[in-house]
Amino acid sequence: MPSLAQLQKYTNVIQQYFHQSHHHLGYDVVLICNDIFGDFIQDIEFYQEYAKTADNVKFILFNIPGQAYTLFDEHAIYNNDYNASMIDLLLEELTTNKAFNPSVDTLKFVGIGFGANIFLYFSNF
């Protein structure tokens, strides 16, 4: 079941993650960001099934603020800088909730359409 992560007063993201692990040496954590008019809800079954066959991979699916099922601040300007800061806050939230451990996990990005643009900007953030 997807969960909401409150990132700012008027902003949240919807997220869900799937994983299968056979050892505890850290995960390959794959963040997946869809295109601006897409959302991950339609892809949940695909990643659930894929996670069953992928060894030690954790998929973190999320929608950025303004996408389906999220809250957003109508006064914010949703440019690359803002969206990259949301990725940063999401990683902080995932670390706090122990869904991502930067000491042992490897972080990977998969961006689709505008999601790729956000990750490209984030990599230089």
Structural domains for the chain = 3-122 (3.40.50.1820)
Q: Please report the pLDDT score of residue 17 as a whole number.
A: 61
pTM beyond 0.85: the answer is no
* Residue 91 β-bridge partners: none
Q: For the chain, which ranges sit under pLDDT 50?
A: none
For the segment 67-80, what is each residue's pLDDT rounded down to a tens digit?
888 888 888 888 99
Q: Please report the pLDDT score of residue 53 as a whole number.
A: 84
